[in-house]
Each structure stands twice: as C-alpha cells, then as structure tokens.
Amino acid sequence: MYTIKEVSEKTEVSEHTLRFWAKIGFFPFVKRDKNNIRLFSDSDIDWVKIVKCLRSVGIDNKSVKKYIELCIKGDSTIKERYNIILETKKKAQGQLDELKKQLELLEFKEKYYKSLINGKSKDIWNPMNKSI
C-alpha cells in the first residue's frame, strides 16, 4: 500500500492533483489507515494511470467521473464503457496527428532560424511579414 507521495512518484501526477482528484470523487475506493492517511493499492495506482490517461487526451473531469460510475455499476455498462474507450482512442489519434503537424511547423521554423544564423539569408521580419 502506498501513500500519496509514493503514488505521485509512480504515476507522475502531483500530490496536489491527486488530492484534488480524490476530493472530486475520482478515488472512491481508496482506503485510509487509522490516522486518516490515504493508502493506495497497486490496482488503485492502475486506476490513477487510467484517469491520467483520460485527462491527458482531453476528457474532462465530469466525463471521467461518469466513467468511474459506470465501472462501479458493473457488467451492464460494459458496452457503454467500451464505446467511451473507442471514442477516447479516436480523440487521442486526432491529437497525435495534430501534434505531428505542429512538429512539422516547428521544424520549418528551426530551419528558417538556422539559415538566418548561418548568414545565408537576412531576417526579413516586420509586423507584416510571415517569417516570424
């Protein structure tokens, strides 16, 4: 069983955020010791990772909450949960594509600046110029 600090290290989610997530009901199953200290099990840590995953692809807290409620409800919600995962995957794919596009733009700018630094061209920036 792990304390908040250990969970934070294992999942790379800040203690602040973990407490915030706990407050809004993301970890209804986490136990406490006699001093009221949270104790996360290994499977609790897996759940933290799922939450982190959902959040990191832009699922909002309300929807994450809904998902965990479906999990608790059990068998009858499997299809619905499956669809949520599929939707989430699609969203993540979209983000991946977008990020790749942005990386291309950054690469273009990198080359532009590099050529400037090497003196192969002049900085032609002015408020109206696109070569920012």
Partner DNA sequence: TATTGACTTAGAGTTTCTCTCAAGCTATAA
Partner DNA sequence: TTATAGCTTGAGAGAAACTCTAAGTCAATA
Q: Which of 17, 50, 91, 112 binds DNA (CB under 7 A)?
A: 17
Cβ-based nearer residue to a copy of itself, 3 or 45: 45
Does position 76 interact with DNA (CB under 7 A)? The reply is: no
Does position 53 interact with a copy of itself (CB under 8 A)? The reply is: yes
Q: Which does 118 bind (CB under 5 to 8 A by kind): DNA, a copy of itself, none?
A: none
Q: Which of 1, 37, 72, 106 binds DNA (CB under 7 A)?
A: 37
Which spans in the chain are helix H? 4-11, 15-23, 42-56, 61-73, 78-117
The neighbour count for residue 6, using CB atoms within 10 Å, is: 13
CA angle, residues 22, 46, 79, in degrees to nearest 5: 95
